[in-house]
Structure 1
């Protein structure tokens, strides 16, 4: 099973349990980065990444901040 499928399975479980979360998806990258378009991560209300991966450094910090704001 691929990581993408595992993330989407967890999304279905969290929706069924009515748990709040953000599903972040990398749509575009600029320059050299380990993150690839289509990468996904589930982010909990406290800002932790529950599953998946969206990259590191500045991108990660920006996505986690946006996720916390969206859930607030």
Structure 2
């Protein structure tokens, strides 16, 4: 996300998210954008961890002998 904002700013423009209070030309807007990006990355990592855990559980259940 930061690369996208950097590309926009290199062209002399700023990013304004209309349905949120985020303006990449202000300090608070940059902070909010960074925090939202961090939370999005964290959420993605949590989802990935859960999927890996489910795959491991399913894999280990297949290896056990059935009754």
* TM-score normalised by structure 1 residue count: 0.28
Which has the higher relative contact order, 1 or 2, with Cα contacts under 8 A spaced 6 or more apart?
1
Q: Which protein is richer in strand relative to its size?
A: 1
Flag the structure with higher helix content.
Answer: 2
Using the size of structure 2 for normalisation, the TM-score is 0.30
